[in-house]
Amino acid sequence: MLPSRCKSCLYWDNQHESLADILKVWGYCRKHYPVVYASNGKYYGTWPLVDRDGFCGEYRGDGG
């Protein structure tokens, strides 16, 4: 088991009001700029939504 999971990363945010309707196993990765995606001819920007048990090579364990 890897100790460096998203749920303990400084950049993981699962407290944002837009996440109120989903389980707290999801959160935003705030390490980089928001990503832009297109849907039905419109463009939207948001931070990547990641699972709390995910991990990446840019983990910083100051988050709790």
Domain residue ranges of the chain, discontinuous segments joined by +: 6-51
Q: Are 10 and 30 in contact (CB under 8 A)?
A: no
Instruction: Output the pTM of the full model.
Output: 0.77
Q: Which two tokens stand for residue 18?
A: 């837009």
Task: With cut-offs at 50, 70 and 90, classify the pLDDT of residue 24.
Answer: confident
Q: Positive or negative, the Cα torsion across 20, 24, 30, 32?
A: negative
Asked if the model's pLDDT at residue 42 lies above 90, the reply is: yes
